[in-house]
A and B are shown apart, each in its own frame.
Chain A
């Protein structure tokens, strides 16, 4: 039995849910059908009565998940520091909002909470006693352009160490391992008027790992790039390749992964993100947790084609099975560090 479990975030089906083509239960049923039995939810997306869930609604959710042989893995919180136009939330109000989410997370029986990356580490430190009492791990989302060794992320690691807690850590988003520029992004910019020779230059620069600002200057100034070309070049600022080997260094600080992706090839390979290297690193260090699909390709193709999130997620899970098996053949299944 592999230590790496497979799951999906309901975020993956946002196109179909938005359009009323799939219900939440349809998503869970589909996840179960491909063996992705870990369910990550966004209460602010999936629960219309948020934040006022009744006990009956909580029970309905739990029964629905169980009916499909699934289980909850993670709760994605949000923090509306700009709720008011006239001022930011005070520190006390921020703590209160996060504690509200910790309580709902606990009522649902979920033990991992995805914390938005912009939430201040010192605010989270104040929430740690509540997270411990409710037994919820607060994982700060390591989302591109942040990465595992970004100074902002290290502040959370330092807080967790200082407090000696197992209830504060991180939650990596695999978008940080963008080894190749996503073809589906390039195609969208070309439909918006970017010239193929310019998009090729941007793709080549990303492939060569040239620092984004050089490429942006080349495209915007030297090539006199149009709006779509400059916008494409600017995506390089936020989408880079971090070293997947660092996953092993921080493995004790995370129990859940958001398996972001933009497009899967028909042969069930990811053209952009370095899942082969990431899964190898996770298996090698004996990490235990859930790879939770986060399909975010809809916004790149909806102008020209129907979105089929199910097929995309299905392909990603075929890839997970293959890469986990290959890594386990190389490294065996290790005891958790």
Chain B
């Protein structure tokens, strides 16, 4: 219900040394009308120009410390609050590619009252660097 808002393109930045970035980061909000315990965020699928980023290269930080997607699966005591920005960190040599590129994000959520997972999708065209 908030798909178009889940990537904040203005927050995209490289991580690591300026001369040799080792990844990039951007802020995201949960595309759902309430907060959710992190264990129910099943996937954060990141893509660049249609190419998926490997699951192991993605981590998440709600402000309480970064977690891999595997670690999130058992984070029963941490909640991602409604409307609150969190950071997605992506490991990628060279950082985000320079020039015009498309960044995609899909949040796959396990919502107990729904028979199937909930997917939120966003895509932003970004001029970077």
Contact = CB atoms under 8 A, between A and B. Distances in A.
Given A11-B33, A83-B112, 16 more contacts: A14-B1, A14-B33, A18-B2, A18-B82, A19-B83, A44-B82, A48-B82, A50-B79, A79-B113, A81-B112, A82-B111, A82-B112, A83-B76, A85-B73, A117-B113, A303-B4
Contacts of A44: 34-35, 82
For chain A, the bracket of interface size reads 20 to 34
Contacts of A78: 34, 112-113
Given A20-B83, A84-B76, A118 B113 contact: yes
Interface of B: 1-2, 4-5, 29, 33-35, 37, 39-40, 42, 73, 76, 79, 81-84, 110-113
Contacts of A19: 5, 83
Given A80-B37, A80-B40, A298 B110 contact: no
Contact of A45 (B4, B29, B35): B35
B83 to A, nearest CB: 5
A108 interface: no
Contacts, number: 62
Nearest to B81: A48
Contacts of B4: 302-303
A45 B82 contact: yes
A85 B42 contact: yes
A50 B40 CA distance: 16
Nearest to B115: A118
B83 A17 contact: yes
B35 A18 contact: no
Q: List 6 A-B pairs, minimum CB-CB distance, nearest first.
A: A44-B34, A45-B34, A299-B1, A48-B81, A82-B112, A81-B112
B25 to A, nearest CB: 21
Contacts of B79: 50
